[in-house]
């Protein structure tokens, strides 16, 4: 099989992060911006594609539109609210940071995990709940509207680091992946949990669905991003990130805009579309 080495053109190369990029996510609809979390303890906001004229050569930028500074340790994950007015970030601090995008300040901080926090998602009506997964093996749910600094619910079924989360509001469910090799789905209405036992630890949730039959993800030490056929399991495309990149640490997909982004170990974020 011949792989397509570059299925979509590189539109933007952002080099504003001085440290490795651990998290990348698009803003909510229409996905005009990207937020990145780095080992330099900051969150950067940049345009996904700096202009509307798509060119053959990628545009390079070296400074963000906005820089968010409050973390004392590496930022490991970011989630954006549907209204694009807020985002949540987590990392080595063991705290959950809720930000006002425009003001550039934290509006809430929650402490309740005993180790680094690796995953965060919004949930609930009006994104009124923040869900976090931690190396302390727990998942915490936080009420953004209440004054309490304690979680409203803690899920304790995992026996190792909770590395990834996905919230599906249509079914009122939370899916999680853990280093213990189990994928769990929690039904928050009934309190029931379904478990899939996998052949290996779930160490990353950085895989995204590109279409009904395709999925993409980071390439680890291969310094490339890959696209797979979900049904056959075959790699259908491989996109090299460059000679200086030792690892692709995170990926994100903008379903509405058709763009996707990869965060790299050299601090570069590349946007394709």
State percent of the chain over pLDDT 90: 57
Residue 227 lies in a domain: no
Domain extent for 105: 20-209
Residue 69 lies in a domain: yes
Mean residue pLDDT of the chain comes to 86
pLDDT at residue 7 greater than cutoff 50: yes
φ, ψ for residue 101, nearest 5 deg: -60, -50
State percent of the chain over pLDDT 70: 85
Euclidean distance between CA atoms 198 and 216, whole angstroms: 19
Q: Which burial class, exposed, middle or buried, applies to 1 when counting CB atoms under 10 A from its CB (0-12, 13-18, 19+)?
A: exposed
Count structural domains, the chain: 1
Residue 93 lies in a domain: yes
pLDDT at residue 176 greater than cutoff 70: yes
Mean pLDDT of 37-42: 97
pLDDT at residue 107 greater than cutoff 80: yes
Contacts of 147 (CB under 8 A, 6+ apart): none
pLDDT at residue 4 greater than cutoff 70: no
pLDDT at residue 5 greater than cutoff 60: no
Mean pLDDT of 47-51: 85
Q: Which of 98-102, 156-160, 200-204 is the least confident region? A: 200-204
DSSP class of 232: T
Euclidean distance between CA atoms 5 and 229, whole angstroms: 15
Q: Which of 8-22, 87-101, 242-256 is the least confident region? A: 242-256
Residue 34 lies in a domain: yes
Q: Which of 29-38, 74-83, 192-201, 202-211 is the least confident region? A: 202-211
Q: Is 127 helix (H, G, I), strand (E, B) or coil?
A: helix
Residue 2 lies in a domain: no
pLDDT digits (tens, 9 = 90+) for 186-216: 998 888 999 888 766 766 655 444 444 444 4
78: CATH: 2.130.10.10
Q: With bands split at pLDDT 50, 70 and 90, how would you rate the model's confidence at 123? A: very high
In whole angstroms, how far apart are CA 156 and each of 8, 94, 138, 159, 160?
Answer: 41, 17, 5, 8, 10
Residue 234 lies in a domain: no
φ, ψ for residue 79, nearest 5 deg: -135, 140
Mean pLDDT of 146-156: 93
Q: With bands split at pLDDT 50, 70 and 90, how would you rate the model's confidence at 55? A: low
Mean pLDDT of 140-157: 94
Q: Of 69-73, 190-194, 233-237, which one has max mean pLDDT?
A: 69-73
Give the number of C-alpha atoms closer than 13 A to the C-alpha of residue 65, restricted to the C-beta side. Answer: 15
pLDDT at residue 36 greater than cutoff 50: yes
Q: Which of 30-44, 71-85, 173-187, 212-226 is the least confident region? A: 212-226
Residue 159 lies in a domain: yes
Euclidean distance between CA atoms 88 and 103, whole angstroms: 14
Mean pLDDT of 29-48: 96
Mean pLDDT of 43-71: 86
pLDDT at residue 53 greater than cutoff 60: no
Residue 267 lies in a domain: no
Euclidean distance between CA atoms 175 and 133, whole angstroms: 11
């Amino acid at each position: 099989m011949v792989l397509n080495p570059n299925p979509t053109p590189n539109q933007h190369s952002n080099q504003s992060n001085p440290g490795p990029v651990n998290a990348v996510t698009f803003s909510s609809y229409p996905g005009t911006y990207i937020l990145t979390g780095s080992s330099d303890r900051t969150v950067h906001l940049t345009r996904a594609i700096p202009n509307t004229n798509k060119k053959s050569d990628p545009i390079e930028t070296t400074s963000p539109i906005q820089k968010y500074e409050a973390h004392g340790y590496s930022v490991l994950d970011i989630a954006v609210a549907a209204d694009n007015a807020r985002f949540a970030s987590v990392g080595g601090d063991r705290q959950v940071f809720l930000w006002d995008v425009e003001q550039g300040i934290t509006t809430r901080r929650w402490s309740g995990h005993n180790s680094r926090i690796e995953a965060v998602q919004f949930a609930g009506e009006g994104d009124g709940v923040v869900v976090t997964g931690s190396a302390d093996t727990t998942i915490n749910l936080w009420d953004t509207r209440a004054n309490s600094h304690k979680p409203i619910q803690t899920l304790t079924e995992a026996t190792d680091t909770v590395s990834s989360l996905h919230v599906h509001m249509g079914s009122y469910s939370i899916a999680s992946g853990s280093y213990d090799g189990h994928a769990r789905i929690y039904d928050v209405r009934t309190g029931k949990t379904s478990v899939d036992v996998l052949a290996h630890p779930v160490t990353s949730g950085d895989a995204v669905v590109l279409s009904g039959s395709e999925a993409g993800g980071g390439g680890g030490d291969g310094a490339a991003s890959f696209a797979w056929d979900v049904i056959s399991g075959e790699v259908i495309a491989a996109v090299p990130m460059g000679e200086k990149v030792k690892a692709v640490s995170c990926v994100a997909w903008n379903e509405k805009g058709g763009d996707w982004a990869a965060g790299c170990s050299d601090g570069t974020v590349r946007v394709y579309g």
